[in-house]
A and B are shown apart, each in its own frame.
Chain A
Amino acid sequence: MTTTVPDSARATSRPDYAALIEPSRVHGSLYTDPRVFADELERIWYRSWVFVGHESEVPESGDYVRKSIGPQDIIMTRGRDGDVHLVFNRCAHRGNLVCEDARGNANAFRCPYHGWTYRNTGELLGYPYNKGYGGKGNLDLSLGRVPRVDSYRGFVFASLAEDGPTLAEHLGAAAGEIDRLARLSPEGRIDLGAGWLQHRTRANWKLLAENETDGYHPQFVHSSIFSVTGSPIGPLYSDNSTAVTRDLGNGHSENDLRPEFRRHGETLRWFGTSESRVPNYVARMREAYGEAAEDILVEGAPHVMIFPNLFIAEIQVFVIQPLSVDECVQHSTAVQLGGAEELNSRMVSQSIGSVGPAGMLLADDTEMYERNQRGLEMRQPEWLDIRRGMHREALDEDGYRTGAATDETGIRGFWTHYRRLMEVDT
């Protein structure tokens, strides 16, 4: 791993993560210290598996989209070989950005600075006026390639480390949550091609990751959207709820709302609709899954935070992109399900209502993130308390730590994994 700081200097200046992360509290400097952010880039964002995009965003050969791994600009392409490739958006000549557009179709890219051309898989095709290089094909250069790329049900992940755990090992139980989303499609197919909204947020990325499965805040922060829309979601996050918060390991966590939906036993309650509104969808689901369709339609979509940056919020997907210690971008899109047209148009309009420019859900959360970041810059008290529900946690039948709907079980799971990654020596 390349670093500009000499090893000796870095060793003495590194924060002591064991001292900053305790089981029931974490230190405020983890959200405000630029050294911590620099460490996170090396130990988490440029090493661990990070979600980049979905295969459905580049359906055709030659398609490309600009993506990111933290501050790194990444181009996701579909090669002539039919495979998805990830390359860094940096010309091998003198480093210009090669792609400017957010998306397009190109089998070859041409750098605008001196006209070098590249195959969309990264291979250098040529350069103008080749005598300056002693002729054609004399340069052993290419676009930077992401060392490891793998996907699960079309969700493309990258690791900038040559080796380490496999994607399957990293996802662990979280893969089952992606399965739960896919099986809401009668074709078992997820599409994330509806387009992404971006919200720049003046807050540390971990505030977002923690908040995604924090079942304690919705009744306060989101009370206005719940009352305006008459949504049944609010009561799912209360002390009387039978929903649970689960630490899925590896920093992943979920709010498992299924116990509440099973208790009501109504199909599509999770989506705030009824069978008569989406008859073709329901028919196709029964055709595809037979008797199992009832459970699928009752239990609904997952609410899972996949470490460190992919949040599947039932009908939307969020991606957290950190830019600096106190700034990030939230990317969001509506989930689209293969063969579920009636659901898809509703998912787009619900997403616009919650995360669109005038949406009511994400704006509420973001207000909290930015206030939180400012609050954390105050000197006292130094710690954040994350003990809620520790006394009432239990292991479920699969061995995962589970707390009540409003407990901070997911947040503690995040920090356990985070500490493990941050303490490893590079």
Chain B
Amino acid sequence: MSERDSNTGDAHDVTPYAPGAGTVRVDDSGGGIVGNEFAEVGVAVDHSGNGPRLRLEDYRTGRVRNLDALELETIIWLPEERLTQLLDPSTTRWREEPDR
């Protein structure tokens, strides 16, 4: 999975991909794949901690990120322009500078 390694980066608060590590208990109500021809992301509500969190997995690289309720609320309130900026590939994944 060299593709994964080259794209892992060091952004803070991202769970490193570890196949088979831990068990994700998926709540009956949620869980599934949000995918289209551009990206595929596994989505599940993870109850293994003291409280629920959203577990997102990029199926094309295996990279995982967990988001808690406040982080999700923040995304909902993100102004449209800020989200648009994040969709510029050179803002995030494909940039020359190392992560700050």
Q: Which residues of A contact B (CB under 8 A)?
A: 80, 99-101, 104-106, 108-110, 115-117, 119, 125-131, 136-137
Taking a contact as CB atoms under 8 Å apart, the answer to whether B88 and A136 are in contact is yes
Residue on B with the closest CB to A128?
B94
> In the complex, which residues 51-100 of chain B have their Cβ closer than 8 Å to any Cβ of chain A?
80, 84, 87-91, 93-96
A129 in contact with B95 given A104-B36, A110-B38 (CB within 8 Å): yes
B37 at the interface (CB under 8 A from A): yes
Query: How distant is B51 from chain A, measured CB to nearest CB, in Å?
Result: 30
Cα A127 to Cα B88 with chains together (Å): 6
Residue on B with the closest CB to A104?
B36
Q: Which residues of B contact A (CB under 8 A)?
A: 36-39, 80, 84, 87-91, 93-96
Taking a contact as CB atoms under 8 Å apart, the answer to whether A131 and B96 are in contact is yes
Q: Which residues of A contact B84 (CB under 8 A)?
A: 119, 125
Q: Which residues of B contact A131 (CB under 8 A)?
A: 96
Q: Could you list some 12 contacts between A and B, CB below 8 A? A: A80-B80, A100-B37, A106-B37, A110-B38, A117-B89, A119-B84, A126-B87, A126-B90, A128-B93, A128-B95, A129-B94, A130-B90
Query: How distant is B32 from chain A, measured CB to nearest CB, in Å?
Result: 14
Residue on B with the closest CB to A99?
B37
Cα A161 to Cα B53 with chains together (Å): 52
Cα A105 to Cα B38 with chains together (Å): 10
Q: Which residues of B contact A105 (CB under 8 A)?
A: 36
Taking a contact as CB atoms under 8 Å apart, the answer to whether B87 and A108 are in contact is yes
CB-based closest 7 A-B pairs? A126-B88, A128-B94, A130-B90, A128-B89, A104-B36, A101-B37, A110-B38
Cα A294 to Cα B91 with chains together (Å): 62
Taking a contact as CB atoms under 8 Å apart, the answer to whether B96 and A115 are in contact is no
Cα A322 to Cα B32 with chains together (Å): 40
Taking a contact as CB atoms under 8 Å apart, the answer to whether A101 and B36 are in contact is yes
Cα A356 to Cα B60 with chains together (Å): 37
Query: How distant is A213 from chain B, measured CB to nearest CB, in Å?
Result: 39
Among B87, B91, B96, find the residue whose CB has the most chain A CB atoms closer than 10 A: B87
Query: Which residue in B38, B39, B89 is a CB contact (below 8 Å) of A126?
Result: B89
Cα A242 to Cα B18 with chains together (Å): 76
Cα A110 to Cα B96 with chains together (Å): 19
Taking a contact as CB atoms under 8 Å apart, the answer to whether B88 and A125 are in contact is yes
Q: Which residues of B contact A100 (CB under 8 A)?
A: 37
Among A116, A125, A131, find the residue whose CB has the most chain B CB atoms closer than 10 A: A125
Query: How distant is B76 from chain A, measured CB to nearest CB, in Å?
Result: 14
